[in-house]
């Protein structure tokens, strides 16, 4: 197949890890006889420096003319003044809004060979393989708000419509159908009106997916179960702010921030794919960043935007095979053991892809 992919490396380690993922996507294309065109554009802090805008019109138009976007990370100390009028993360919000990306998918799995890097006992991590579906464009982060200057009150509003809940719930049910057919919807329906609407709507949507087992969990008790029995969960769907918090909690199960991919999706096949970590200014420029989160994001891109399931699975299997063969970047290496550079790790994944393909 032919596909155009826009690459927004962004800042810090962003361009370092996207370069590795792009080279592996090229390998996937060569092995499968596909023609992928890559177009790079400025985004985030580097775009502010060059054009005064974290999401310049030229970048937007390249994204509009592509099947998917592969993103690194944005931000860094030089753009971190919270009172600045223009900030790198505004680019992320505008990108999501522009393309109506209402669902953020974050798979979290624990790798047995990396268990010692996670804060939980190894036996609790056995079989951990879950997918969070976080609503991304509603709730408290987008509702009406008021700050009374330096006054003594302020408020934010959690507003959800049935249509907003239905679309993200359907996406989550479909994801569950392709996995272990178990969906957990997380809310705070014992207290919040918006959560009662959430739960009622998810229950209604459930009628369309009789093959999926649906549970409801209250966010406070779910936060505890996520640590006590993480292997119980398959797909989890939740609103924006709960998802923001719970996905970071779940991220520690994987052992390193560098391991985790994500996809932001809307109604169609277009998506933005990015690792969950930031621009890691402390290691930027050293060539040592763990590229796994970005490589697995590229696998999600193959699956969701290009419908290339076999290629996506092959790339994921190649990452696993590299890990099984002992390949480690410094964040997941044993103390005093030699660690690979980002590029060397990428080569180990490439070798595994070629061997399998
Ligand atoms: P961070 O994720 O960049 O780094 C946290 C720690 O994890 C650092 O010690 C870093 O070295 C390490 N780390 C992160 N990714 C790694 C990788 N791939 N391999 C090895 N180690 C890795 O978070 P932070 O330090 O809080 O933020 C740094 C900058 O990134 C800030 O400007 C922040 O606003 C931005 N940020 C951007 C995004 C995004 O682009 N989506 C997300 C989070 C933070």
* pLDDT for the residue 150: 72
Look at residue 116 and give its three-state secondary structure.
helix
Rounded Cα distance between 204 and 206, Å, is 5
Judge if the beta carbon of residue 284 lies within 6 A of ligand 1: no
Active-site residue, 244 included = yes
Q: How many other C-beta atoms can be found within 10 angstroms of the C-beta atom of residue 102?
A: 21
pLDDT at 244: 93
What's the average model confidence in pLDDT over 44-50? Answer: 98
Check residues 11 and 82 and name the one with the higher pLDDT: 11
How far does residue 1's CA lie from ligand 1's centre (Å)? Answer: 34
- Cα 279 to Cα 93: distance, rounded to the nearest angstrom: 16
Judge whether residue 149 has pLDDT over 80: no
Quote the ligand 1 centre to 166 CA distance (angstroms).
Answer: 33
Residue bearing the CA closest to ligand 1, atom 40: 73
- Report residue 23: phi and psi, to 5°: -65, -30
Examine the pLDDT at 337 and tell me if it is beyond 90. no
In the chain, residues under CATH classification 3.40.718.10 are: 1-114+256-357, 119-132+139-254
Instruction: Please tell me the residue having the least CA distance from ligand 1 atom 11.
Output: 280
Q: Of the candidates 304, 187, 276, 179, which has an alpha carbon nearest to the alpha carbon of residue 234?
A: 179
Rounded-to-integer distance, Cα 159 and Cα 264, Å: 21
**Burial class of residue 95 in the structure, from the number of CB atoms within 10 Å of its CB (0-12 exposed, 13-18 middle, 19+ buried):** buried
Q: Is 1-114+256-357 in CATH node 2.40.40.20?
A: no
Residues 130, 107: contact at Cβ < 8 Å? yes
Say which residue the tokens 């621009």 belong to: 279
Ligand 1 center to 151 CA (angstroms): 34
Residue 104, pLDDT score:
98
Give the model's confidence band at 177: pLDDT under 50 very low, under 70 low, under 90 confident, else very high: very high
pLDDT band at 247 (very low <50, low <70, confident <90, very high): very high
**Average pLDDT of the residues in 171-178:** 97
Average pLDDT over residues 208-221: 98
Residue 165: partners with Cβ closer than 8 Å, 6 or more residues away: 135, 197, 198, 201, 202, 205
What pLDDT does 341 receive?
Answer: 98
Number of helices (H), then strands (E), in the chain: 12, 12
Average pLDDT over residues 285-298: 98
Give the pLDDT band of residue 293 (cuts 50, 70, 90). Answer: very high
| Rounded mean pLDDT, 44-69 | 98
On whether the CB atoms of residues 191 and 205 are closer than 8 A, the answer is: no
Nearest to 107 by CA among 297, 303, 280, 314: 297
Mutate to test the pocket of ligand 1, among 14, 72, 104, 257 (most ligand atoms within 8 A of CB): 257
Structurally, at CATH architecture level, domain 119-132+139-254 sits in 3-Layer(aba) Sandwich (3.40)
Q: Which band of pLDDT confidence, cut at 50, 70 and 90, is reported for residue 333?
A: very high
Whether 71 is in the pocket of ligand 1, judged by its Cβ within 6 Å, is: no
């Amino acid at each position: 197949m032919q596909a155009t992919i826009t690459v927004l490396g962004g800042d810090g380690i962003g361009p370092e890890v996207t370069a590795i993922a792009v080279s592996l996507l090229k390998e996937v294309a060569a092995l499968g006889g596909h023609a992928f065109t890559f177009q790079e554009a400025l985004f985030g802090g580097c775009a502010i420096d060059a054009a005064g805008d974290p999401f310049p019109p030229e970048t937007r138009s390249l994204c509009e003319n592509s099947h998917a976007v592969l993103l690194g990370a944005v931000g860094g100390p030089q753009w971190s003044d919270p009172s600045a009028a223009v900030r790198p993360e505004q680019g992320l919000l505008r990108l999501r809004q522009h393309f109506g990306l209402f669902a953020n998918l974050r798979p979290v799995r624990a790798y047995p060979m990396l268990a010692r890097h996670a804060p939980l006992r190894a036996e609790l991590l056995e079989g951990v393989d879950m997918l969070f579906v976080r609503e991304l464009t509603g709730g408290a982060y987008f509702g009406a708000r008021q700050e009374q200057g330096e006054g003594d009150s302020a408020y934010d509003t959690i507003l959800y419509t049935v249509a907003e809940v239905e679309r993200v719930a359907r996406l989550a049910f479909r994801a569950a159908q392709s996995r272990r057919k178990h969906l957990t919807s997380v809310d705070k329906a014992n207290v919040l009106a918006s959560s009662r609407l959430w739960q009622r709507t998810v229950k209604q949507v459930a009628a369309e997916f009789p093959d999926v087992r649906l549970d409801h969990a209250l966010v406070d008790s779910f936060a505890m179960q996520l640590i006590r029995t993480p292997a119980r969960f398959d797909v989890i769907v939740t609103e924006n702010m709960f998802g923001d918090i719970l996905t970071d909690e779940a991220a520690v199960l994987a052992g390193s921030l560098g391991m985790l991919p994500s996809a932001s999706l809307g109604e169609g096949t277009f998506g933005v794919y990015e690792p969950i970590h930031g621009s890691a200014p402390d290691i930027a420029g050293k060539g040592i960043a763990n590229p796994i989160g970005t490589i697995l994001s590229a696998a999600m891109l193959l699956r969701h935007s290009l419908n290339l399931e076999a290629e996506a699975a092959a790339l994921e299997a190649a990452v696993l095979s590299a890990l099984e063969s002992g390949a480690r970047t410094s964040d997941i290496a044993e103390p005093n053991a030699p660690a690979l550079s980002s590029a060397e790790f990428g080569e180990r994944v490439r070798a595994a892809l070629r061997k399998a393909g």
